[in-house]
Amino acid sequence: MSGLRIFGIVVAILGVLASVFPGWFEPLTGGPEPAAGIHEAIERRVRGGMVLGLGLMFIGIPALRPWATSIPLVIFYFMTGALAARILGLLVDGMVPKQWLLVAVEAGVMTLVALWLWRSGGSAP
């Protein structure tokens, strides 16, 4: 196992922890004051999900070339982490209509990226 994959696993675990327990990682997820509302509480979890997506990138992308494969994979993994944290926030913190709109947008972008990978012959995640 390469050093980048081990680094990716560590970053992904940090992202999962920051998504599940955003209060433990206040410099990463937001200030020490409590969230102003449900929307802000979910957005703090999403910041941890973005760290999860960064870890998934290091785990799942073996090389930067060809660009036609690596660029969509970067987008896909980053969105995967954010979407997972957003759904976790919706389940734990409560439902907000604007958050469901963001879930739909992220899922749509991920679908477009998957189609891009499929059309280019790249490896789908």
In a domain, 7, yes or no: yes
Residues of the domain holding 91: 3-120
For residue 22, being part of any structural domain is answered with: yes
E strand intervals along 28-98: none
Residue of higher predicted confidence among 9 and 27: 9
Question: Does residue 63 form part of some domain?
Answer: yes
For the segment 118-125, the average pLDDT, to the nearest whole number, is 67
How many structural domains does the chain have? 1
Q: Tens of pLDDT along 50-71? A: 999 999 999 988 877 887 788 8
Average pLDDT score, the chain: 88
C-alpha 111/C-alpha 117 separation (Å) is 10
Residues 6+ away with beta carbon under 8 Å from 22: 29, 30, 41, 44, 45, 47, 48
Q: Are 106 and 116 in contact (CB under 8 A)?
A: no
In a domain, residue 125? The reply is no
Does residue 17 lie within any of the structural domains? yes
Q: Which residue has the higher pLDDT, 66 or 73?
A: 73
Q: Is residue 43 part of a domain?
A: yes
